[in-house]
Structure 1
Amino acid sequence: MRILAAGDAFVSTDLLKKAVRAELAVSPDFRELSLAWPVEPFGPVGGVHEASGTEEQVIAALDGAEVAITQMAPFTKKVFAAAPGLRMVSVCRGGPVNVDLVAATEAGVAVTFAPGRNAAAAAEFAIGMLLAAMRRIATSSAELLAGTWRGDYYSYDKAGIEVEGTTIGLVGYGAIGSRVARVLAAFGAHVLVSDPYADQDRVRADGAEPAELDDLLRRSAAVSLHARLTDETRNLIDERRLGLLPHGAVLVNTARGGLLDYAPLAEALRAGKLGALALDVYDVEPPPPDWPLRDAPNVIATPHLGGASRQTADRAARIVAEEVGRLARGEKLVNVANPDVLGR
């Protein structure tokens, strides 16, 4: 089997190759491509989103490959047209956003992905952001290192809030949101969950309370976003819904930038409507130099690190390698994004 391993500085080519070798009885014929992400930001390439590298790089690297395994390489209509022998693209991400699924299906190429690969890392990161924002950990640290001792943070009106006994709302209840809920419930929080597609009995079993979104926002002292970005959820938290939050509420977005309307956030922070804002994802990545939130108060901002754990990279490589093994053994593929192609 000829396989293209298109790695990057996080899920490396060597890591992908090692995982595949562990799955196959015979060592495959590898083609290799190393991409510049995350040193260089991802972006749209040839009609797909969040990709690294060029179509021409991928076409040249495929060189007759039957299988491609990658995290970031763009697989577009142009790439599929140039690779008639390709049978499967296995993407080690929670969703194959770097693959044109319509073109893949038309070409008869199965596309697999790695759901839950970063669920533990992302859940831990979201909880860390909640704690940092609710207790002013990150902002007070930055101020102290800049030379300012904020003793006034011990005054009642500026002090942080505890998780225990606090109502915290989670928007989205997949692999990440459900983990966050269980941890917060263990902390003693009253957890509200808004997700119309979640099993409501499971939500209750995890110690949380199902709620309609607007009701959740009105009742929550802190809100963390965990929904997938779709046409339905784009700008889900807009200016109207921000206005529903209690005065001084904490808002955390470690999911997708497009879930949140960023335009009103700076003013909401300055007016005290938002007590703190913690972000790991953005409507534009990286944010531009004139980004309004750079000088807004009580902002924590990290460069899209929620899934950045070594275990995530190891797990991602293992998941795509398992799909390669299934293909080689003639077994049914598990995590297929375009199942209509399987009958061909």
Structure 2
Amino acid sequence: MPEQAIKNVVVTDYTFSDLSQETAAAESVGARLSGHQCRDADEVAHVVKGADMVLVQFAPLEAKAIAGMADGAAVVRYGIGYDNIDLAACAARGISVGYVPDYCAGEVADHAASMVLSMHRKLPQLDASVRRHEWKSVAIAKPIFASEAVTVGFFGYGNIARKLRARLAPFGFSFAASDPFLTESQAREDAIKLLSVDELFCRCDIISLHAPATSTTNGVVNADRLRSMKPHAVIVNTSRGSLIDEAALAQALSDGAIGGAALDVFDKEPLPSDSPLRSAPNLLLTPHSAWYSEAAIELLQKLAGDDIVNHLSGRPLRRPVHSPVEVTTRLQPTTI
């Protein structure tokens, strides 16, 4: 009787110190794991050829790579979002796709809350003014409104947005949301005013984005929406960079059309050296770090390892992405 072929697990890219948890998981079911740091789609296509399972973090997993994977393979994305995976190509080949939406919700909510409060109290502007040897608190920070007079709006009201609301509620903010799956009764339960997208941008003082990158959400923050916002309004984004037209945002900030922005995610990452965001005023930037804590990393790798065992043992993935339609039509919780 011929020996059964050893299954191959491939990690395309990762920002962790090691892959010991994933390696142990693969070895526990008689598979071997190889880790890589792919920088582009061609490198990904090369390393995943013949793979029985692929774990991907930020690298693009495109149709060419998917075509070269083994029959019956599976893909798991290290994170909450999965817009770097060609789901249609996976579906066409019968390749299962999973993700890990339950590893860092608290961390992202903490990061978003820190951004909201920093921008509300104009901390980046005040810090910069002191470093310029100025001492002009009101002149630099005006206007700052009492928290009780400020409405925080959520574009998408999933798990992370709900956690963010809970963190901000003690400060006295009012809240609004735009989410096609948020019911009136759910909104009342959380003291949330349910608004259309246009109303959200027109009426809120701070808007926090919590939606995936889809055909209906990409570019939702565009020049027209920015013009509709209050002149002191702030945008916070810890979801996906493609939700924002970055050139339009940079222009709005330079023109003083809105009060400021805080961004943890960008359309292209790392942020290009020639991005207009780099020179835009009243802008707080962090390098896609909202997800991070030591505990979150450990949990993310453990859950990914669990899915290695699940798939190679013939069991379903923990959190499957069911179809491309789900991604393009449903406004889901924030993506990391």
Q: Same fold (TM over 0.5)?
A: yes
Displacement, 1:97? Answer: 3.1
Out of 66, 69, 74, the residue aligned to residue 83 of structure 1 is 69
Q: Which has the higher contact order (CA 8 A, sep 6+)?
A: 2
* 1:197 aligned residue: 181
SS of residue matched to 1:252: strand
* 2:9 aligned residue: 4
The residue correspondences of 1:298-337 to structure 2 (distance < 5 A) are 298-328=282-312, 330-337=314-321
Displacement, 1:191? Answer: 0.6
SS of residue matched to 2:94: coil
For 2:97 and 2:319, how far apart are their aligned partners in 1?
8
CA contact (8 A) 1:165 1:190 kept: yes
Q: Unmatched 5+ residue regions in structure 2? A: 1-5, 325-336
For 2:47 and 2:80, how far apart are their aligned partners in 1?
24
Aligned length: 318
The residue correspondences of 1:173-252 to structure 2 (distance < 5 A) are 173-252=157-236
* 1:50 aligned residue: none
Q: Unmatched 5+ residue regions in structure 1? A: 37-41, 47-52
Out of 63, 66, 80, the residue aligned to residue 94 of structure 1 is 80
* 1:54 aligned residue: 44
Displacement, 1:75? Answer: 4.0
For 2:23 and 2:116, how far apart are their aligned partners in 1?
37
Matched to 2:168, the amino acid is L
CA shift digits 1:204-228 (9 cap, x unpaired) = 3223221112222222111111121
CA shift digits 1:9-40 (9 cap, x unpaired) = 2374224234x27xx9x45332212316xxxx
* 1:256 aligned residue: 240
* 1:168 aligned residue: 152
Q: Which runs of 4+ in 1 moved over 6 A?
A: none
CA shift digits 1:150-195 (9 cap, x unpaired) = 4212349625344344211111112222211222223221011111
Q: Does 287-296 or 103-112 show the bigger shift? A: 287-296
For 1:192 and 1:285, how far apart are their aligned partners in 2?
30
* 2:330 aligned residue: none
CA contact (8 A) 1:93 1:113 kept: yes
Q: What's the TM-score, normalizing by structure 2?
A: 0.82
Displacement, 1:311? Answer: 2.7
Displacement, 1:85? Answer: 4.8
* 277 and 80 in structure 1: CA distance in 2 versus 1, 3 angstrom threshold: closer
SS of residue matched to 1:312: helix
Out of 123, 134, 137, the residue aligned to residue 120 of structure 2 is 134
* 2:104 aligned residue: 118
CA contact (8 A) 1:5 1:13 kept: no
For 1:15 and 1:324, how far apart are their aligned partners in 2?
10
CA shift digits 1:45-102 (9 cap, x unpaired) = 26xxxxxx4311232xx5xx53333424554443344333553222222133343323
Q: Does 172-181 or 283-292 show the bigger shift? A: 283-292
CA contact (8 A) 2:45 2:65 kept: yes
For 1:159 and 1:151, how far apart are their aligned partners in 2?
16
Displacement, 1:142? Answer: 4.1
* 242 and 204 in structure 1: CA distance in 2 versus 1, 3 angstrom threshold: same
For 1:79 and 1:224, how far apart are their aligned partners in 2?
35
Q: What's the TM-score, normalizing by structure 1?
A: 0.80
C-alpha RMSD of matched pairs (Å): 2.9
* 1:280 aligned residue: 264
Q: Does 77-86 or 237-246 show the bigger shift? A: 77-86
Matched to 1:119, the amino acid is A
* 2:333 aligned residue: none
CA shift digits 1:267-318 (9 cap, x unpaired) = 4334433122212222333444443333332111222222233233222222
Q: Does 256-265 or 154-163 show the bigger shift? A: 154-163
2:7 is the alignment partner of 1:31: no
CA contact (8 A) 1:2 1:28 kept: yes
For 1:209 and 1:138, how far apart are their aligned partners in 2?
29
* 332 and 27 in structure 1: CA distance in 2 versus 1, 3 angstrom threshold: closer
Displacement, 1:241? Answer: 1.5
CA contact (8 A) 1:185 1:208 kept: no
